Amino acid sequence: MKPKVYITRRIQSEGLNVLEPFCDIELWEEDRPIPKTILLEKVKGIRGLISMLSDPIDEEVIANAKALKVVANFGVGYDNIDIACCTREKIRVGNTPGVLTDATADLAFALLLTLARRIEEGAQYVKEGRWLSYSPTLLIGKDLSEKTVGIIGFGRIGQAVAKRAKGFGMRVIYANTSRKPEIEDQIGAQCVFFNELLEDADFISLHCPLTPKTERLIGEKSFERMKKEAILVNTARGKVIDTEALIRALRTKRIAAAGLDVTDPEPLPQDHPLLKLDNCLVIPHIGSATTRTRGRVAEMSAKNILAGINGEALPYPVNMIG
């Protein structure tokens, strides 16, 4: 009998093809997160689980999954998984680092450019039939070149954003838990203190993981330090920003604008105050959503599963099981 693997959404065939010869696969086919009550039933007897970042894999789920050997998160962030609990239960956890770096950095830059150059407003203006002539004063935006981008979290994705920023002629500063001198030299980025970054940057882009230390890292006090013209971009996790403080900062024009691929809560309800603000652009967590990247994410998740169900070290591990 093949080992049972549950996947909490239909993933790309690149992943399914890896698993099919070796596993008995069941999928959650609906295009919404699997309800917790159903997940609690589905994990009974499975050896491997491919989970989405929207699925909390907590003590309760793990307690129901007595045969579980491996959880492969479909993505790089794994704040949805209780890693300590998995490790205690000798369940391997894997993710998909590296493969989505460029796609996510591209999207951060797309948000930055869209806001700086008022692309959304421009498109709307044309669609509404208001474009009657060339105008020297129409939709004046912000330059990127010679401006400073502040990158919070200087891992793979933060560094990829830095490289893009350099290509646009920007000055790059970053704040991170540790200094990266080699990368600084390579890219021409400068490490600064967190508060200095907030005060100095014209554009701020968030690329830190969500941890107890980074939860609500950007709150009232941070907004007070930012420039009035600052544009904030978040492609990391919604909870890194204190949403109430962000709403106030945008409403009072304490900062110029925000571009969010991730929010807290996620998704945002239709009547959420952020969606009523002209200076806030929200897109639905699509940082890694390109054909090639998602195919690779699916494949890497599947490879983590295959190793885990065989009791082997994962190719892309998050925890270590002795």
Q: Which is nearer to ligand GLV, 287 or 308 (CB)?
A: 287
Q: Which residue has the tokens 């959404």?
A: 9
Query: For the residues of 52-107, what is the DSSP string, one character each?
Result: -TTS-B-HHHHHH-TT--EEEESSS--TTB-HHHHHHTT-EEE--TTTTHHHHHHH
246 makes contact with ligand GLV (CB under 6 A): no
233 makes contact with ligand GLV (CB under 6 A): no
- Closest contact distance (angstroms) between CB of 287 and ligand GLV is 5
Residue type, 228: K
Q: Which is nearer to ligand GLV, 15 or 75 (CB)?
A: 75
Q: Which is nearer to ligand GLV, 4 or 207 (CB)?
A: 207
53 makes contact with ligand GLV (CB under 6 A): yes
- Closest contact distance (angstroms) between CB of 291 and ligand GLV is 16
75 makes contact with ligand GLV (CB under 6 A): yes
Contacts of 47 (CB under 8 A, 6+ apart): 3, 4, 5, 23, 67, 68, 69, 70, 308, 309
Q: Which of 200, 203, 204, 211 is nearest to 80 (CA)?
A: 211
76 makes contact with ligand GLV (CB under 6 A): yes
Is 225 within 8 Å of 94 (Cβ atoms)? no
CA gap 222, 234 in Å, rounded: 14
Residues that are catalytic: 237, 266, 285
Q: Judged by CB under 6 A, which of 48, 259, 287, 308 binds ligand GLV?
A: 287
CA gap 214, 131 in Å, rounded: 44
Q: Judged by CB under 6 A, which of 77, 153, 238, 259 binds ligand GLV?
A: 77
Binding positions for ligand GLV, 97-156, rule CB under 6 A: 100
CA gap 151, 159 in Å, rounded: 8
- Closest contact distance (angstroms) between CB of 226 and ligand GLV is 24
Query: Which positions touch ligand GLV (CB under 6 A)?
Result: 53, 75-77, 100, 287-288
